[in-house]
Structure formats: C-alpha cells, structure tokens
C-alpha cells in the first residue's frame, strides 16, 4: 500500500499540473481573503477567515477532481490496470494507497493557507482577536470535505479511461453531494416536513456545522460514511476488471 502511496505522490509532484492546481487554489483563496472588496478581510473591518472557508469548498470542487482524475483512468488507458490488479496486492491496498496519496495532496494544498490564519491573528486589534476555535473547526471541516471529494473523485476515476471524463464526473458528483441536497430540501414537497432531514444529507450542512468550532460526532460519522461508501464503490468498480 505504501509503495503505491509513494509512487502516486511522486508522480503527481513531478507533474506541472500539480503545482498549477495548488497555485490556482492558493491564488483564488488569497484573492477572496485579501483583494476582492465584497469578501476581503479589509472590507469586513474585523478579523475573520469566513471568506476563505466559504469559498475554499467551491475551489476544491475543481482542484480535487483534477488531482484524482488520473488515479485509475491513466492505468485503464495504458493497460497497466490489469498488471496492477494481478500483482500480489489486495484491491483495497491499491485503493487505499491511491486514496491516501490524494489525501496527502489535499493536506499539502491546505497547509500553506495557515499563513492567512497567522496573518489575521497578528493583524487583529487587539492582537489575537480571532475566533480560534471556529477557525480550527473550519480547517478540520475543510480537510474532511476534501477527503470526501477525494473519495468521490477516486470513484469517478475508476469509471472511465478518459481523464477529462473522470474529471467531469468527479466534479459533478462532488458538486451534487456538496450543494444539491440543500437546494432539494427547499422544494415545496419537503418544506416543513422533511426538509431538515434532506438538507442534512448534503456535505455542506455538516461542513457548516463543524465550522462553528464544535466537533459533533454526527458530523464526523457523516464524513466517514461518505468516504467509506465511495471507497467501497471504487473497490467494486476495480474488482470488475478482474473478470
């Protein structure tokens, strides 16, 4: 598993696309935090990372499928998937090796944004005038959100040998599970009855919940369930290629 992990990380970091994707994420979030007048900390007039945490999921919708799209698609396209699944490795070891590599790259993308936290912490008046609990909860929520998108993107990559198709599928599925349930819950058929239940099926509901700084076991269970479901679906998709 760790051999697969190291191979995937090395392949990604040796690609120019990796650095472009991470640079776009940092540039995009940086513009919202510091530059755009309707979102920037300067316009707000108070120490807050709300603009970063509200926009980062939407940038992740594009970034993470770009990270995961080649995970299995490239193996299928080049024919090395047959060699991979016939090696003395279990399917779940191959899958977890690739998933942990994607997860590492998600963490690698988030890590530099801590400079936003420390900058705002230092610039606050008085110094440290920042809700640290909510910020740490939001970072935890963002990591779990990225972990969900990575599992979804990995599943999409098992479905097609075309990386662009895998990217589009990963983007669509991630966007659906992130935001669609919130919109569906507002339909008249659900209003006042099961709207809260339908809304709670979406990733954005639990991301917003954990971003308040209170780590609820229900939110963690939800994230782990989404990750588990899509990793299982990925394993079943890979196993079909043995036959």
* Residue 92 DSSP label: H
> What is the pLDDT of the chain when averaged over all its residues?
84
pLDDT digits (tens, 9 = 90+) for 156-197: 999 988 889 999 999 999 999 998 988 888 877 777 667 888
- The CA distance from 231 to 197, in Å, is 24
Total domain count, the chain: 1
User: Is the pLDDT reported for residue 243 higher than 50?
Assistant: no
Higher pLDDT, 124 or 166: 166
Closest residue by Cα to residue 5 from 116, 94, 126, 138: 94
| CA distance to 24, 44, 121, per residue, from 125 (Å) | 30, 13, 9
* Nearest CA-CA partner of 103 in 67, 140, 54: 67
pLDDT tens digits, one per residue of 20-53: 878 888 888 888 887 777 777 776 666 678 888 8
Domain membership of residue 14 as a residue range: 1-241
Instruction: Tell me which residue of 148, 125, 127, 128 sits closest to 64, measured CA to CA.
Output: 148
92, exposed or middle or buried, with CB in 10 Å at 0-12, 13-18, 19+? Answer: middle
| Interval 137-153 mean pLDDT | 94
The better pLDDT of the pair 12, 67 is held by 67
């Amino acid at each position: 598993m760790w051999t697969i992990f190291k191979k995937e990380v090395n392949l990604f970091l040796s690609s120019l696309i990796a650095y472009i994707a991470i640079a776009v994420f940092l540039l995009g979030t940086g513009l919202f935090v510091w530059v755009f007048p309707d979102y920037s900390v300067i316009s707000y007039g108070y120490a807050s990372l709300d603009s970063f945490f509200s926009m980062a999921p939407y940038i992740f919708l594009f970034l993470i499928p770009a990270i995961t799209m080649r995970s299995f698609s490239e193996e299928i396209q080049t024919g090395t998937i047959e060699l991979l699944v016939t090696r003395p490795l279990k399917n779940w070891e191959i899958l977890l090796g690739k998933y942990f590599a994607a997860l590492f790259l998600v963490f690698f993308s988030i890590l530099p944004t801590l400079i936003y936290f420390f900058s705002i912490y230092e610039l606050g008046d008085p110094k440290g005038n920042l809700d640290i609990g909510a910020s740490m909860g939001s970072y935890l929520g963002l990591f779990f959100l990225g972990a969900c998108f990575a599992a979804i993107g990995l599943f999409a990559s098992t479905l097609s040998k075309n990386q662009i198709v895998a990217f589009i599928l990963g983007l669509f599925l991630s966007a659906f599970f992130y935001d669609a349930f919130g919109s569906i819950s507002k339909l008249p058929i659900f209003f006042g009855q099961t709207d809260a239940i339908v809304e709670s099926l979406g990733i954005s509901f639990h991301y917003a919940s954990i971003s308040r700084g209170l780590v609820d076991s229900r939110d963690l269970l939800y994230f782990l369930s989404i990750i588990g479901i899509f990793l299982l679906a990925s394993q079943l998709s890979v196993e079909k290629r043995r036959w």
